[in-house]
Amino acid sequence: MTRIQFSYRYYEQTALDFFPRSRVVKYNEDGSVVIEAFAKVDGAVLWLLSQGEAVKVLAPQSLVERMKETLTNTRNQYLD
């Protein structure tokens, strides 16, 4: 299990329900929240990607890089 943090712009309970024992660690002025959770990274990536622009991974840096790479590769599929 890896500790992850992400900013979430939709209804916070949706994320809290998906990640057991997760918690809100910060309420942002723009209405989003920062959530901390412990998760298996592969499963977390699938859910995080499904949330589209409503989510931004903050930590760990290795997960941030994985999300960037995956999203870049996905975008590149539509450039041909």
**Tokens 């995080």 map to which residue?**
48
Please tell me the distance from the alpha carbon of residue 79 to that of residue 75, in angstroms, as a whole number. 7
CATH architecture of the domain formed by 2-76: 2-Layer Sandwich (3.30)
* Predicted local confidence at residue 30, as pLDDT: 96
pTM of the model: 0.93
pLDDT tops 80 at residue 64: yes
Q: Which two tokens stand for residue 51?
A: 């949330």
Residue-range domain boundaries for the chain: 2-76
* Predicted local confidence at residue 69, as pLDDT: 97
Residue-wise pLDDT for 13-63, tens only, equals 999 999 999 999 999 999 999 999 999 999 999 999 999 999 999 999 999
pLDDT tops 80 at residue 80: no
Residue 73 CB contacts under 8 Å (≥ 6 apart), including other chains: none
Question: Mean of the per-residue pLDDT values for the chain?
Answer: 97
Say if CB 31 and CB 58 are below 8 A apart. Answer: no
- Give how far Cα 56 sits from Cα of 5, 15, 44, Å: 9, 13, 12
